[in-house]
Amino acid sequence: MTQDLEQKLWSIASGIPFDSEYFLQASPTRKLKKENLFSKEFETYFLELGSGWGEVAIEMARKQPNTGFVLMEKKFDRIRHTFRGIERHSLKNVKILCVNFNWFLEDVFAENVFSQILLNFPDPWPKRRHHKNRTMNPKFLYSLKTLLPIGGKFSFATDYGPYARRVLRIFRDDDRFRPEEIELKFERSEIPVSHFERKKREEGKRIYYIDRILIKK
């Protein structure tokens, strides 16, 4: 990325005008540390990338009041909908950033902030000429390595088989991550099912779950 482009993207990312107590502002000059995220410190912090309508994180946040949930989502209507969900349940442990996580990730947060990072159903970019737009690539593993501590967990889901196979290959080539139990699962119980996931299941799609633990930096 050229410096000019980076400045332009930062001015977009840091100028989003949401006036809400649930909104976190990203800044090019100050990385967010644990103590900057919420008005109190939590035991652990969870990051969801592309949180959509927010129902997954909201359900988890209700059950895990000692974990702070940070959501990144680029679509305004989904962010507003998530704000309403947070308000309805009076949650104090969910905040949202309106930042494109393919532009900035390890520049937004300090190192080792999150014990778990979730990427559920990112755009699969099925056409070969668009593969360069996929989130899952070796550079993204660098971002994960920066934001997770040793022992931290990354959870991925997709309904697109070729993307799942590509993600398996990316992880096989990187000895910093190991499978949590098995390389690939077709069921996952610890993370709630989103509307999107339910719809895909109803269409008869198989869902591929890939979990990895960071074992070295």
Binding of ligand SAM by 54 (CB under 6 A): no
- Which lies closer to ligand SAM via its Cβ, residue 63 or residue 149? 63
* Among 24-32, 67-75, 179-187, 202-210, the segment contacting ligand SAM (CB under 6 A): 67-75
Residue selected from 69, 83, 101, 177 as contacting ligand SAM according to rule CB under 6 A: 101
Angle at 41 between CA 37 and CA 44, to 5 degrees: 90
* String marking each residue 159-198 x if it binds ligand SAM according to CB under 6 A: -----------------------------------x-xx-
> Nearer to ligand SAM by C-beta: 172 or 201?
201
Q: Please answer whether residues 70 and 48 qualify as being in contact, where contact means their C-beta atoms are separated by less than 8 angstroms.
A: yes
- For residue 158, state whether it binds ligand SAM (rule: CB under 6 A): no
Residue of the chain from 24, 37, 58, 73 that contacts ligand SAM (CB under 6 A): 73
Q: How far is CA 54 from the centre of its chain?
A: 12
Tell me if 78 contacts ligand SAM by CB under 6 A: yes
Closest residue to ligand SAM using C-beta atoms: 50
Residue whose C-alpha is closest to residue 206's, from 166, 155, 162 = 162
* Under rule CB under 6 A, residue 102 binds ligand SAM: yes
CA distances from 13 to 1, 18, 68, 81, 140 (A): 15, 12, 22, 20, 19
Residues from 23 through 52 that contact ligand SAM (CB under 6 A): 50-52
Judged by CB under 6 A, which stretch of 34-42, 82-90, 95-103, 170-178 contacts ligand SAM?
A: 95-103
Shortest CB 97 distance to ligand SAM, Å: 9
- What is the rounded distance in angstroms from the CA atom of residue 81 to the CA atom of residue 68? 19
State yes or no: residue 155 binds ligand SAM (CB under 6 A): no
Which residues contact ligand SAM (rule: CB under 6 A)? 50-52, 56, 72-75, 78, 100-102, 120-123, 194, 196-197
Annotated binding site for substrate: 127, 159
